[in-house]
A and B are shown apart, each in its own frame.
Chain A
Amino acid sequence: MDNDKLPTGGRLSAAPLIGLGDKGLLRRAFLRGGVVATLSVGSGVAAAPLAVPDSSRLLGKPVANDAYGRPSKYEANIIRRQSPGLTRTNESSIAFTPLQNLFGTITPNGLHFERDHAGLPDLDPSQHNLAVHGLVAEPKIYSMDDILRLPSVSRVHFIECGANSGLEWANVAVPTVQFTHGMLSCAEYSGVLLSTLLDDVGIDLKRARYLLAEGADGAALTRTIPLAMALDDVLLVYAQNGEMLRPENGYPLRLVVPGVQGVSSVKWLRRIEVGDQPWHTREETLHYSDLLPSGKSRQFTWIQEAKSVITSPSGGMTLLDKGGYYEISGLAWTGRGRVKRVDISTDGGRNWRSTRLQEPVANKALTRFRADWVWDGAPALLQSRCMDETGYVQPAMRQLREVRGTRSIYHNNAVQTWQVTSTGEVRNVQV
């Protein structure tokens, strides 16, 4: 799949790069070829022996010095952030995932984006129960111990807020990918298929059409879930990336509705009611409905359509070497199954080439794409474009606006453009 060849000088071989890592001029000379034969390890570089630091001589800290563990102190700035001015309170607010700092496809638990509607509740798992009732033969209540004993599954899925990129329908509004796309995370979720539970209570399939999912937080957030999804792949989740959910992600129990806007993946889940009609809750009428230019709103716009974004280089970064090799890397996803292909452009969408996709490409999960790029030092416009397995191609901003206008807030899955200036600044722009 890798059609991207480096220029003269061939593949990067390990040896000549040792000792040249921060010598941009030499690296560029190497990449441009012609001088490869004259370079070898150490030649042309100051000859002082490499220093042996204290870390190589002294005893380190004992094991379990930090019994749970945390990132290196040098990573202290890799954190979730709120977007200045976005929300009126810190309780009904959003903390964005720093996509610009992450690798691969799995979001670390401490960096999973957080959207609360009435603050972060403190739920004691020994006191927490899930009620399942409505159009069922036997309404039941399950303790957390009950739920952890049910047949379990683990699946990797993305969760994207329906309002992700919602600030940019009309114009550019924020500087970095953390704020343009950071209401997006991906994890291995463990729990029970909701269908298992619905089977256990004896759901009345003749009459049931929708479910209501309700949280145990102050907002008691409620969302209507269509039965077809509930019986397909909706998960009742208690664990994320191998450990119990973090409080901010729904501890001890949440719903995960794969491929659907994040608000449906109700956190701190306390109740599921089976019904025959949608509920038209506040979070599916006043909000989370997509306003069209006509003044009508599309309601129950559950699916997150195919989308992608380059996370490196991305807005706010500075390319320190003017010219030279940079890997273009980013994320792609679709609520309609698997990502099939991701193309990138460096000229604002005039010409495209396909990228390498990280395997395995999972269903309704983030997919990492990568491509080689040798920047010639001239201004560039970087874009990525996702195609999913249905053949759907991620649209340009202009195409989305032609149909949906600029007041929709939700479901902006347009192609993102990052401008690289001749000085190496990377900026968020629209074309």
Chain B
Amino acid sequence: MCRFDLLVFASLLYLCSASLWAAPSWHGLGRAVTAAELAGWDIDVRPDGTGLPPGSGSVADGQRVYDEKCASCHGTFGESNDYIALAGGVGSLASESPQRTVGSKLNYATTLWDYIYRAMPFNDSKSLSANEVYAVTAYVLNLNELVPADTVLDQSSLPKVAMPNRDGFTLDHGMGSQTGKADVVNTACMQNCTSTEIKVTSELPAGFTAQMYGDIQTHFRHFDRSPLAAALTTTKPVGLTLAQTNGCFVCHDIDQARVGPAFTAIASRYQRDAKATAALRDKIRSGGSGVWGSVPMPPQAQIPDGDLLSVVAWILKGSVQQ
């Protein structure tokens, strides 16, 4: 008894000991990374210019790069060739048709540099050198009439480019934090919540859905009572598929004799035979000759039992194709 208590005490002591509850060992995972290593990935640029690499580029150099690598999507003058427009739209943000471009929307020119360097050209990103990115940035800013044609941009000049929408953003809203205050207030009214007539104010034009999406019914699950359900359930019988994939049609056809008898003829011969399933399974499995002539049926040992029974069932049911 005494000894048992001692053991318990010793165990408790061990459980409470510092060695067991020391700092978790997972702090040893991962490895230190050097600034030199990080340079390959650390490509972000902040509005104050932090992160901009050495180098420079002119508007003229930028036009050469732009015409070769950017204009096909963004248009010769940044007006967009079906992709995002880069120029124009200044002053449009309060209108019915706001245009979101470099000139109209960005608050910092550094964002343009950062984005071109990390994500452009669309199909070959991170392929431009720092000098090329300075140059293209200068050219796009020039297309927006934000820098003159003789501009050369570098680490120190780029952050100083004044953007028209510099003060176009606000943090005065409640969606920046978990506890922010909502800007739109509704109440959970339950009965007679409005006295005015409730009218439909917007709906899709007639024919729009069919024109854009085809038969929208194919976007829904239908188990019965729909053409789609019928289409899904009239797929080929499993037995037919197995007969095709296992080479049965090399020698047999559905309703005419070839090297071997027609499947329909087999069904007809065995239709009153209570043991037909087992007999046909064995015949296919082991092969044989004599029943339909002298040409032997080669054994088909490779077909799994389940598949074989499906083929037999399909034959005995009349080899339907639908």
A residues whose Cβ falls under 8 Å from a Cβ of B: 22, 54, 57-62, 73-78, 81, 84-85, 88-89, 91-92, 98, 100-101, 117-118, 131-133, 138-143, 146, 149-151, 171-176, 178, 200, 212, 214, 218-222, 226, 228-229, 232, 259, 270-271, 273, 275, 277, 279-282, 285-287, 289-303, 305, 316-318, 320, 336-337, 341, 343, 347-353, 381, 385, 387, 392-396, 399-400, 402-404, 407, 411, 419, 427-431
Q: Among A140, A300, A419, point to the contact of B203 (Cβ < 8 A).
A: A419
Residues in B with CB closer than 8 Å to A430 are: 200-203
Q: In whole angstroms, what is the CA distance A273 to B223 when docked?
A: 52
18 CB contacts below 8 A, A to B, read A59-B305, A131-B33, A131-B38, A139-B35, A176-B216, A218-B119, A279-B44, A279-B114, A281-B115, A282-B115, A291-B98, A293-B94, A302-B175, A303-B175, A351-B191, A385-B186, A396-B186, A403-B183
B221 to chain A, nearest CB (A): 5
Q: A297-B169, A302-B175 are in contact. Are A282 and B114 (CB under 8 A)?
A: yes
Does B184 have its Cβ within 8 Å of any Cβ on chain A?
yes
- A7 CB → nearest B CB, Å: 20
A88 to B106, CA, bound (A): 22
Set A75, A85, A175, A285: member contacting B105, Cβ < 8 A: A285
User: Is B21 interfacial (CB 8 A cutoff)?
Assistant: no
Write out, one digit per residue, whether chain B residues 1-30 have a CB within 8 A of any chain A CB (1) or not (0).
000000000000000000000001011011
Given A22-B224, A219-B118, A138 and B32 touching (CB < 8 A)? yes
List, in ascending order, chain A residues with CB within 8 A of B48's CB.
277
Residue of B nearest to A117 (CB): B119
Report the separation of the CA atoms of residues A300 and B172 in the bound assembly, to the nearest whole angstrom. 10
- Residues of chain B lying within 8 A (CB to CB) of residue A289: 169
The 4 closest A-B pairs by CB, nearest first: A295-B94, A59-B306, A348-B198, A295-B93
In the complex, residue of chain A having the shortest beta-carbon distance to the beta carbon of B80: A88
Whether B246 is near chain A, meaning CB under 8 Å from some CB there, is no
Within 8 A of A (CB), among B208-224: 208-209, 212-213, 216-221, 223-224
The complex places the Cα of A244 from the Cα of B198 at a distance, in Å, of 48
Chain B residues 170-189 with CB under 8 Å of chain A are 170-178, 180, 182-189
Cα distance A203–B192 in the bound complex, in angstroms: 55
Residue in A75, A317, A351 whose CB lies within 8 Å of B190: A351
Binding site of B, secondary structure by majority: helix, strand, loop or mixed?
loop
Measured between alpha carbons, how far is A430 from B198 in the docked complex, in Å? Answer: 10
- Determine if A140 and B122 form an interchain contact, defined as CB atoms under 8 angstroms apart: no
Which residues of B100-139 have CB atoms within 8 Å of chain A's CB atoms? 100, 102, 105-108, 110-111, 114-115, 118-119, 122, 125-126
Question: A259-B178, A291-B93, A297-B169 known; A352 and B193 CB under 8 Å?
Answer: yes
Cα–Cα, bound, A138→B42 (Å): 16
Residues of B within 8 A of A219 (CB): 118-119, 125
The interface of chain B, by Cβ under 8 A from chain A, is 24, 26-27, 29-35, 37-38, 41-44, 46-48, 82-83, 93-94, 96, 98, 100, 102, 105-108, 110-111, 114-115, 118-119, 122, 125-126, 168-178, 180, 182-194, 198-204, 208-209, 212-213, 216-221, 223-225, 228, 232-233, 235, 304-306, 309-310, 313
Whether the Cβ atoms of A171 and B306 lie closer than 8 Å is no
The residues of B that contact A139 with a CB separation of less than 8 Å are: 32-35, 38
Question: Do B175 and A298 touch (CB < 8 A)?
Answer: yes
Name the one of B41, B118, B184, B220 contacting A100, with C-beta atoms under 8 angstroms.
Answer: B220
Across the two chains, which residue of chain B brings its CB closest to A340?
B188
Structural contact, A133 and B193, CB atoms closer than 8 A: no
Main secondary structure of the interface of A (DSSP, over half): loop
Extra contacts, 4 of them, besides A92-B122, A286-B106, A427-B203 (Cβ < 8 A), are A219-B125, A279-B47, A286-B111, A303-B176
Tell me the complex Cα distance, A219–B309, Å: 54
Q: Which interface residue of B29, B102, B190 has the most chain A CB atoms within 10 A?
A: B29
* Nearest CB in chain B: distance from A23 CB, A: 11
Contact indicator B176/A301 (Cβ below 8 Å):
yes
Q: Contact: A222 with B44, CB < 8 Å?
A: yes
B171 touches A299 (CB 8 A): yes
- Smallest distance from the beta carbon of B174 to chain A beta carbons, Å? 8
Given the contacts A226-B176, A287-B100, A59 and B200 also touching, CB distance less than 8 Å: no
Q: Which residues of B contact A57 (CB under 8 A)?
A: 313
Q: A218-B125, A303-B175 given as contacts; is B182 within 8 A of A73 (CB)? A: no
Q: Are B202 and A393 in contact (CB under 8 A)?
A: no
Least Cβ distance of B309 to chain A in Å? 5
Q: Known interface pairs A151-B24, A427-B203. Does A301 touch B175 (Cβ–Cβ under 8 Å)?
A: yes
Residues of A within 8 Å of B194, CB to CB, are 349-350
Residues of B within 8 Å of A381, CB to CB, are: 198, 200
Which chain A residues border B169 with CB–CB below 8 Å? 285, 289, 296-299
Contact B306 A60 (CB under 8 A): yes
Contact across chains for A286 and B100 when beta carbons are under 8 A apart: yes
Which of B32, B108, B198, B225: most chain A Cβ within 10 A? B198
Q: Is the CB of A200 within 8 A of B26?
A: yes
CB distance from A174 to the nearest CB of B (A): 8
User: What is the bound-complex CA distance between A278 and B228, given in angstroms?
Assistant: 52
Distance between B161 CB and nearest chain A CB, rounded to angstroms? 14
Report chain A residues within 8 Å CB of B189: 352
**Option from A58, A77, A286, A411 in Cβ contact (under 8 Å) with B175:** A411
